[in-house]
Homo-oligomer: A and B are copies of this chain.
Amino acid sequence: MAKEITPRSENYSQWYLDIVKKAGLADNSAVRGCMVIKPTGFAVWENMKAQLDRMFKDTGHVNAYFPLFIPKSFLSKEADHVEGFAKECAVVTHHRLMNNPDGSGVVVDPSAKLEEELIVRPTSETIIWNTYKDWIQSYRDLPLLINQWANVVRWEMRTRPFLRTAEFLWQEGHTAHATQSEAVEEAQMIHELYARFAEDYMAMPVIKGAKTANERFAGAEETYTIEALMQDGRALQAGTSHFLGQNFAKAFDVKFADQNNKEDFVWATSWGVSTRLVGGLIMTHSDDEGLVLPPKLAPTQVVIVPIPKPQPEIMEVAEKIEKELKSKGISVKIDTDKKKRPGFKFAEYEMKGIPVRIGLGKRDLANGVVEVARRDTKEKSSYQITNIGDQIKNLLEDIQNNLFERALKFRAERTTDVDNFEDFKTVLNEKGGFVSAPWDGTTESELKIKELTKATIRCIPNNRQPEEGKDLISGRPSAQRVLFAKAY
């Protein structure tokens, strides 16, 4: 089975598609650019969602739900927003089908044309701020800390499962505040929260930073981003949090009376992560044998395989171990299939990324031990059955940490400081990864580099020391290095 995966070194892009398919994560659908998220892939997303939802609620947010459709005119209300989002989107023009007079199926009923077309939401700022207008009158109504779990549609030309699809699932937070500083703090707090989620749960190291003006969200005054590095040396924007200033409040006329009864426009943030994270997770950890999942997000953390087959005396021990692991909060399954051979099963579980496999052979059991294989390093060891629960719990933590450290080391190796354009091109082409280089702060230089190399500024990293240098293209002075990369 593992043989069917294209090696990364041969064709990275095909390797990714192979993993998605063979590990049963997603499937193409009959609708261009839309994927079917299969049960295993969806279970990973459910785990992500549950954890993020807890983190949002712990920081005072509540969930709500806003309409799927946005009246076309709403998109034009915020000048930058319409440029960014009113391009490739799904437009609903009619609300009825009718039987084709020629008897062949159904056709659009021309008499059911909508007065105003509806756009399937590409993001919900406009419909939400149009609603907030009714919800906010006074400072007592603020802050409004609302999140929504939803599907959105952006008519992308080139799609790839999870990483870029026409329809995707995401959460979008939309908060409203009485002061600028409170809104900025909220956007930054969520930025930190996203980074914590990526590193502590996905075991995916991220660089925190701000986007350049050119790469900002359409309608934002500041966009904070977390940027991860994939194994092919390309960057992945994994989550963004936006300080929107008063732009949407002005576009939708949302004012509040402060404590002195003075009126002002409301300050806003919005922030989101999506099913794209599943793609990032796959690309960060997986190998040529298949999917590798960090234990904290793996739907099944441990599989127990009776060797050579499920027999009563082995099953008895298997069930005891299963019970002990469950009591430690570990999710575990026993393989009770009687037809497939152990070798086949092992390859299958490697393909599916189950973090730990416990093999139960008769001779081992007679010696009071089991064989434990960890998916990340593929090492096998003998474990005493006594106190197996705590041992496996420690092992899962160890795997979680090892995946993070491994990815961190990879990133360090693939992050290069350069100081002139020739080196920049060489590093980008031969090594890839993040290239840390001076920049003069102009969109002009940024776009020139993009045009010449396809690399973009991923972010202006937080917590980096000022450093005098010269812009790669213009030669003008630069105050700080920024991070370039080719990106997904």
Contact = CB atoms under 8 A, between A and B. Distances in A.
Nearest to A105: B76
A268 interface: no
Nearest to A88: B96
A95 B27 contact: no
Nearest to A65: B37
Number of copies: 2
Contacts of A93: 91-94, 108
A69 B108 CA distance: 15
A408 B146 CA distance: 37
A134 B42 CA distance: 18
A262 B30 CA distance: 28
A356 to B, nearest CB: 21
Interface string A26-65: 0101110011111100110110000000000000001111
A146 B65 CA distance: 24
Interface stretch (A115-123, A224-232, A346-354): A115-123
Q: Which of A43, A71, A92, A167 has the most CB of B within 10 A?
A: A92
A63 B92 contact: no
A335 to B, nearest CB: 15
Interface string A154-192: 010000000000010100000000000000000000000
Contacts of A88: 95-96
Nearest to A61: B39
A86 interface: yes
A168 to B, nearest CB: 10
Contacts of A73: 105
Interface string A108-132: 1000000001111000000100110
A68 interface: yes
Contacts of A131: 27, 29-30, 36
Contacts of A75: 97, 105-106
A31 B96 contact: no
A307 interface: no
A66 interface: yes
A36 B151 contact: no
Interface of A: 27, 29-31, 34-39, 42-43, 45-46, 62-76, 82, 86-98, 105-106, 108, 117-120, 127, 130-131, 134-135, 146, 150-151, 153, 155, 167, 169
Closest 9 interchain pairs by CB? A76-B105, A34-B67, A39-B62, A37-B65, A91-B94, A95-B155, A93-B93, A86-B97, A90-B92
Given A90-B94, A92-B92, 10 more contacts: A31-B71, A34-B68, A42-B63, A43-B62, A68-B120, A68-B167, A76-B106, A86-B106, A95-B155, A120-B120
